[in-house]
Structure 1
Amino acid sequence: MAALNFDPLLVLVVKTELALPPGRELDRAVARLGDSPKQGMPLRRYLAELYASSCPACSRPAVADYFVWDRDQGEPIAKYLR
């Protein structure tokens, strides 16, 4: 026979932590985050500029999905574009 330790406060904490916020609330929070300042501009624009790149084939503007960095060189050695 196993003993159980039922702590109603712990159950409340777990339920609260696992509950998803309503969709509209989450959308508002993400919008506020995107509007928050980062180096003198909205975070949304800062991130867009951070991932702005150009296509190596046609030189047109493109958005990078991610960069592969070389720590020793301190610069990207590969980029993957959308």
Structure 2
Amino acid sequence: MSQVPFGCKVALFGSDSPQIIDLTGKIMSPLKDTVVQLLFKVYEEADPQQYEISKNVSVIVPGVLAHQADANGKP
């Protein structure tokens, strides 16, 4: 991810899985490892009306259950 320019702040703007990462940034652990796509808003502290939205940023949220390779295999 790029560095934030001087005089700017970053805020979470969007999540494709708000049940895992909500817009306040709270993370709820899923049952299995899950990829969540996030968007961030970068804005000027002096003029918050001046902003840009990031491209999608993928993050992996670790699940609470361990992955089992042979579990529920295809018949």
Higher RCO, 1 vs 2 (CA within 8 Å, ≥6 residues apart): 2
Structure with the larger helix share:
1
Q: TM-score, normalised by structure 2?
A: 0.20
More strand by share: 2
| TM-score, scaled relative to structure 1 | 0.19
Q: Which structure has the bigger radius of gyration?
A: 1
